[in-house]
Structures are given as C-alpha cells and as structure tokens.
C-alpha cells in the first residue's frame, strides 16, 4: 500500500480515484496499519483505524458500518489504483434496486488474465447474478467453442443487513479453498448482483502487477 506508483503511494491513488466520484457522501481509508494511518494524516486523507483481527475487507467495512450510517457501503479494495468514477457509478446503479443486497463488477477478461490465478474470474446467470467466482479459468472450454471470459474487479456494494449477515456466518469451505471472501455469500444462498463495466483494472498483488499499472499510467499521460 505504501509503494509508489508513478510518483504516488498506491493507497493514495485508490483514495483519490474513489473520492473523484460525485456520488459518494464520504470516503474513508479503513486500515489496521499505523504506517498507513500516518501517511493518510500527512496527506489529509480521511482514515480510520480498525481492528487487526479482521480476516477480510468485508469484515473491516462492517466495523465502519457500526459507527457510520449509510444507505449503501462500498468496499474498494486498496490494491485498485486504476479506480474510476465509472466504477463507482456502475456499482451504485446496481443498488438502486432495494432488493439487491450485494453488488460487484466484472469486465471482459484480457487474454493475459484468463489463465492468471491472481485475476479472479466470474460467471453469471441470465439476469446478472453471480454463479461462481474462481481463480481457475471458468468456464472451461471443453470443445474449443471460445466462450466469453469475465474478470471480477475488486469493487463491492453492500446493504448493512448483508454486512451483518456475512459477519455472523463462519468462513465457508469454498471461501477457504479459493481465498475469495465473496464466496461466503454464495455458499450461504445470498445473491451477488454483477454489473459489467468496460473499464478494466489491475489489482496490484505482485511486482508484475505493479509494473503493468505503471505502464498503463504512462500511456494515459502521453
């Protein structure tokens, strides 16, 4: 989170990207890191210290929801430096339906991400609800039919009731296997509605990811 990407700390790029949306009342960096707190205060970024015991970003957002009232809570993972206002708008469009408890985003998967386990894939049903998320390449192309592949992006929207339900449930077996927290919702019958965006992002999990983002930002600026 503290590594610089094109001259700015990763967490700062994410924060500024989210804050650029005119649709949000508040943006908070929720962390358990003293270093990140110091950096945020230095730059004047709104931040909150949360428990170090959380096992997922969803649990961290749930803690924030206990002290900050909102109609909808967004979780933009801190490794998403290519966040755009369009991502926020697509998420909030999903949540206009009061029956939607959890929303997230997908984008057509670039060729280099189809077999990349760090790029999570998602398949959805005919009305846009997630069937499954996986680090594996799904769907499997048994007969060479050339299916469409979609990459899941690390953006979520929740109602408070969904956050409370998530935290009341034990870690699920699929969640444990894939290390994907959103599978806890699916394994317990809680639908996740998925909006499609044309704006891809690169979650920075590796040095290679960091270099990809730097190259994308350089192309944007030239």
Q: What is the pLDDT of residues 17-31, one digit of tens each?
A: 999 999 999 999 999
26: left (phi over 0), alpha (psi -120 to 50) or beta: beta
Q: Average pLDDT for residues 143-161, to the nearest whole number?
A: 96
For the entire predicted model, the pTM comes to 0.91
CA distances from 28 to 18, 82, 146 (A): 10, 18, 41
Q: What is the pLDDT of residue 7?
A: 87
Q: Residue 48 — very low, low, confident or very high, per pLDDT cuts 50/70/90? A: very high
Q: Is 70 exceeded by the pLDDT of residue 222?
A: no
* Residue 101 Cα distances to 90, 94, 96, 122, angstroms: 15, 10, 10, 18
**Separation CA 47–CA 8 (nearest Å):** 17
- Measured between alpha carbons, how far is 43 from 63 in angstroms, rounded to an integer? 24
pLDDT of residue 59: 94
What are the tens digits of pLDDT across the range 96-117?
999 999 999 999 999 999 999 9
Q: What is the mean pLDDT of residues 152-175?
A: 96
178 pLDDT above the threshold of 70:
yes
| CB-CB contact of 29 with 41 (8 Å) | no
Residue 219 pLDDT more than 90?
no
| Mean pLDDT for the stretch of residues 7-16 | 93
Whether 5 shows a pLDDT value over 90: the answer reads no
Question: What confidence score (pLDDT) does residue 205 get?
Answer: 83
Structure tokens at 213: 């983002």
Give the model confidence (pLDDT) of 116-127 as tens digits.
Answer: 998 999 999 999
Q: Running DSSP on this structure, what letter comes out for residue 182?
A: T
3-state secondary structure of 155: strand
Q: If DSSP codes are grouped into helix, strand and coil, which group holds residue 23?
A: coil
Position 2 pLDDT exceeds 70 = yes
What is the model's pLDDT at position 42? 96
Between helices 34-43 and 10-19, what is the axis angle to 10°?
A: 50
* Alpha carbon distance 64, 157 (integer Å): 14
Q: Provide the percentage of residues in the chain whose pLDDT is more than 70.
A: 99
Spatial neighbors of 98 by CB under 8 A, at least 6 apart, are none
Structural contact between residues 61 and 73, judged by C-beta atoms closer than 8 angstroms: yes
Q: Is the dihedral of CA 13, 194, 141, 135 positive or negative?
A: positive
Question: 180: closest CA among 54, 56, 68?
Answer: 56
Encode pLDDT of 50-69 as tens digits: 999 998 899 999 999 999 99
Over range 2-10, report the average pLDDT: 89
């Amino acid at each position: 989170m503290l590594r610089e990407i094109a001259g700015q700390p990763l967490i700062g790029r994410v924060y500024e990207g989210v804050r650029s949306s005119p649709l949000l009342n508040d943006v908070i960096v929720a962390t358990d890191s003293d270093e990140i707190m110091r950096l945020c205060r230095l730059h004047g970024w709104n931040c909150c210290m949360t428990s170090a015991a959380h096992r997922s970003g969803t649990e961290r957002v749930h803690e924030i929801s206990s002290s900050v009232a909102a109609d909808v809570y967004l979780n933009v993972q801190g490794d998403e430096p290519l966040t755009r206002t369009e991502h926020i708008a697509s998420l909030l469009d999903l949540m206009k339906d009061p029956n939607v408890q959890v929303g997230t985003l997908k984008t057509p998967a670039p060729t280099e991400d189809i077999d990349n386990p760090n790029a999570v894939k998602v398949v959805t049903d005919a009305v846009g609800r997630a069937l499954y998320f996986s680090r594996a390449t799904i769907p499997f192309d048994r007969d060479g039919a050339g299916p469409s592949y979609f990459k899941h992006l690390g953006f979520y929207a929740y109602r408070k009731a969904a956050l409370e339900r998530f935290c009341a449930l034990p870690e699920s077996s699929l969640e444990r296997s894939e290390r994907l927290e959103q599978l806890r919702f699916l394994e317990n019958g809680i639908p996740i509605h998925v909006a499609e965006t044309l704006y891809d992002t690169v979650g920075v999990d590796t040095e290679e990811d960091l270099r990809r983002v730097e190259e994308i930002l350089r192309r944007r600026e030239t």
